[in-house]
Amino acid sequence: MSGKRRKFDRDYKLSAVRLLESSEETLEQVSRGLGISSSMLRRWRNQIRQRGPESFSESGRTERSEVLRLRRENKDLRRQLEFLKKTLGFEAGVKRKGTKP
């Protein structure tokens, strides 16, 4: 079995779902004719029903990757801040010399 995943562009997915909707064939027959799994075609149909044709846009994918990047950056910055607090003695309960409580 090859480890290479096939990728389908937005137009192909929309066309496949349109074909399914306009055809009198079953989902299994249409997917077999297209050379894709029936579960994949069913998932595409459900995505379009739930979110409309925008569900296959690239903006959603780039937005998710940006959120993940920002979460990683936020985590890294929090670690750096904790390190600086410890280094400078700003931990809770640490009294600095020369200050009154």
> Over the stretch 55-69, which tens digit does the pLDDT of each residue have?
776 666 677 788 889
Q: Which of the given ranges, 20-24, 62-66, 84-88, has the highest pLDDT on average?
A: 20-24
Q: What is the pTM of this model?
A: 0.54
Helix, strand, coil percentages (3-state) for the chain, rounded to 5, are 70, 0, 30
Neighbours of 55 (CB within 10 A): 16
CB 41 within 8 A of CB 30: yes
pLDDT of amino acid 32: 95
Q: How far apart are CA 79 and CA 20, in angstroms?
A: 51
pLDDT in tens, 27-82: 999 999 999 999 999 999 998 898 886 777 666 667 778 888 999 999 999 999 98
